Structure 1
Amino acid sequence: MRTDFAGRRAPLFWLALKTGLFTVLTLGIYRFWMKTRLRRWYWSAIRPGGQPLEYVGDPIEKLLGFLIAVVILAFYIGIVNLLLMFLSFSLFQGNGAAYLLSFLGVIPLWFYARYRARRYILARTRWRGLRFGLAPGAWGYAGRALWHWTVTLLSLGLLLPRMTFHLEKYRTDRTSYGTAMMVQGGRWQMLYPAMRPLFGAAALTGVAALALNFGPTPAPGIGLAMLAAAAAVYGLVHYRVRTLEMLTANKTLDGVALTLDASPFRILMIHVLGYLLAGVAILLPLMVLGFVIMGLHFAELATESGATQIVLLENLPRWLLIGVSAMLYFTIFLIWSALTHTFVTMPVTRHYARGLRVLNPARIEAIRQRPRDEVVQAEGFAEALDVGASI
């Protein structure tokens, strides 16, 4: 069973621009409606077997969950930071230790929030009328994520595949579609081939360091360092895409299997060219506006009397200048958000969707509906910590 993607750029651009404008006009309150409408657009565009996904999330759930999470986080962070600051000044005569410990204390909440956001999204996603779901386990995920990240950092990244596999297995083995539970098969060692470009980038980095320290001139070392940086960027994208393919190929759902065909180079080019196009679309009008203002400035300076010098800006009320500046800033922000949806998020989603295949789809007919998960607080913690802002 193939998967199609039916979305087009123009409707998405205007939807993102319009909902972004409403978000600014309501001082951010419409953000929850904006995200809901954008998700419904993306979900309806992804069509496995010609039948679209359905997103049934409620903006009110998101708003209430966000308000509850903000109150809890404000109390937690306020009390914890107060105690840490007291201890830091008492023991170390400074606040540096308090800031460091405060940052480290938020990391578990970040993993906790990501898991809860994923659970809410799956609980509000349907296909062929059946609900997806994710079992509770946010704190378990946060603890495992902290452990695996610590081990990965201590191994200088050599155990990155181990972390990738075990965290994905924890999430996948708790994911359900209707009454069927998903299972992540395979072993973590199978992900090591995806590390080859990263190993190459590490080798180039070592050669660049030798050339910079012992070479007759720094030019070759600088060139090798730039090449190593480019190789590292591609290596990260390659690792992400290839591990996603391998993990997807080893997932099963009550006899149903999946395959994914994606190109790391294509994903990288979508990001590079997409952000480049968005940046050019933003900068060109600003450059034109800047040249116009400079032209008026020099034209006024060229007059003999100078009576009209900078009259255009000097005589405007201060509140109007602030208002125009704020409008210009938010206009740039809104257009950038709409353009990145159009040239980055949508093409990446389309590429992954069209590469997805469902094997043995006849087994889906035996799957039945599951009870609805309430998921109290929705994505509140993810919104408050700004890790749930993505589609």
Structure 2
Amino acid sequence: MPPSVIGTTYAGAKGPMFWLALRTGVLTVLTLGFYRFWAKTRLRRYYWSAIRPGGTPLEYVGDPLEKLLGFLVAVVFMAFYIGVVNLLLMYFSFALLKGNAAAYVLSFIGLAPIIFFAQYRARRYILARTRWRGIRFGLEPGAWGYSWRAMVHWGVAILSLGLLWPLTTLWLEKYRASRTYFGSERFTQSGRRGLLFGAMKHVYYPLILSLVAGGMAAAFDNPAWAAFGFLTLPWFIYGLAYWKAESFKRMTEAKRLGAIGFETAPRPWRIMGIYALGGMLINLVLSGFVLFAVMLITLAAGVSDFENADLSDFTELGILLGPGIALLYFGVFLAYRAMVHAWITLPLAAHFAQVTRLIDAQGLMDITQRDRDAFAEAEGFADALDVGAAI
């Protein structure tokens, strides 16, 4: 029988993650993008297996071929939808409004429901291919219901200039969580409408102060007020980390899986530290890499004074070394992707996993297996639109 409280350990390491992300990135480039579905599968399997509630790792059993076939089907649909809709909108925009600005706006609005639809479908596939203790997760069909609700809630958040974003976040999470299963047991997401507003307080306060400072600077023509407004920026950055940590805590502890509850305590300063240290290391490595490449090109061109060099000095060399320069160009992006995984994404996953516990976990013994969700389309729409299909 499981203990009443189950903690979570994390077994991932930065070095193996870096080389895995770099290898899969290189193979993706060499195959002109076709390996991306296998790359994503391998990365997810690493992340999932590193998260170990009660010492038992999660399993990701997604099939890369499912992703590829789903992507091809989605591309055909999207090509038809976007092509026909955009042509009609462009025609009416020019015919009625004598310009294309309205067509672009309407085209984006017309694509937004498909984006939210794709995000929900991607989540359904990921959950359907995730297991723990041999039990499958699952998400009920409901992509179109999520899509129109997301349109409404995002519209409310935009009209409120972002002030109601906590309410939008909670509403949409309630819709998703209420349709999520672990085996035979359904998740529930409780919480009053004001649950997440407190998590945004360190975003609201610096914004209010910066607006006040801007108004005072304009009214009294005093640059000291403008300087005071800039000083609120560090507080705002902390507020974003606080929102990430506190909103996760509040929503997680308001979730239930039958009789099973959750506790978590992510730390805003830890999140800020991960982003700050990871970002600094990435910038240092990429800056050194670019500087080294420039020095090599300069030496190869026989230029001793780079600042006063003539562009013609590099013309012939550029033609000769074009393929090498292209490889360097892709190398920068591949290295950046690998470093983001190793120094930002993985430490964040480790932190959130390690501070999360299951409470009253004896109820796990009553959960039985659920039927496999075939869902062969996989994440096709999310991959085609490049939304909602990240790790």
Question: Superposition RMSD on alpha carbons, in Å?
Answer: 2.0
Structure 1 residue 296: deviation in Å? 6.0
The farther-off stretch of 138-147 and 264-273 is 264-273
CA contact 2:214–2:226 (8 Å) conserved in 1: no
Compared with structure 1, are the counterparts of its residues 310 and 181 closer, same or farther at alpha carbon in structure 2 (3 Å cutoff)?
Answer: closer
TM-score, normalised to structure 1, is 0.93
User: Corresponding residue for 1:338?
Assistant: 338
Q: Secondary structure at the match of 1:69?
A: helix
The answer to which structure, 1 or 2, has the higher relative contact order (CA under 8 A, 6+ apart) is 2
User: Corresponding residue for 2:363?
Assistant: 363
Seq. identity, %? 48
Alignment of 1:57-72 (within 5 A): 57-72=62-77
Structure 1 residue 29: deviation in Å? 0.3
Structure 1 regions of 5+ residues with no counterpart? 303-308
CA contact 2:298–2:304 (8 Å) conserved in 1: no
CA contact 2:209–2:229 (8 Å) conserved in 1: yes
Residue identity in the other structure for 2:50? A
Partner Cα separation in structure 1 for residue 303 and residue 258 of structure 2? 75
Compared with structure 1, are the counterparts of its residues 4 and 314 closer, same or farther at alpha carbon in structure 2 (3 Å cutoff)?
Answer: same
Among 28, 35, 49, the residue aligned to 1:30 = 35
Alignment of 1:26-175 (within 5 A): 26-175=31-180
CA contact 2:301–2:313 (8 Å) conserved in 1: no
TM-score, normalised to structure 2, is 0.93
Structure 1 residue 300: deviation in Å? 5.8
User: Corresponding residue for 1:349?
Assistant: 349
1:250 and 2:262 aligned: no
Superposed CA offset, 1:288-331 (max 9, x none): 332344456575679xxxxxx9998555583x433122101111
Partner Cα separation in structure 2 for residue 221 and residue 35 of structure 1? 48
Structure 1 residue 216: deviation in Å? 4.3
Q: Secondary structure at the match of 2:321?
A: helix
1:239 and 2:243 aligned: yes
Alignment of 1:263-278 (within 5 A): 263-278=267-282
Partner Cα separation in structure 2 for residue 216 and residue 108 of structure 1? 46
Partner Cα separation in structure 2 for residue 76 and residue 96 of structure 1? 20
CA contact 1:207–1:224 (8 Å) conserved in 2: no
Residue identity in the other structure for 1:39? R
CA contact 1:297–1:310 (8 Å) conserved in 2: no
CA contact 1:55–1:126 (8 Å) conserved in 2: yes
Count of residue pairs brought into register by the alignment: 383
Structure 1 residue 343: deviation in Å? 0.4
Partner Cα separation in structure 2 for residue 209 and residue 196 of structure 1? 20
User: Corresponding residue for 1:373?
Assistant: 373
Superposed CA offset, 1:56-106 (max 9, x none): 000000000011111100100000000001000001111111111111111
Structure 1 residue 153: deviation in Å? 2.2
CA contact 1:130–1:177 (8 Å) conserved in 2: yes
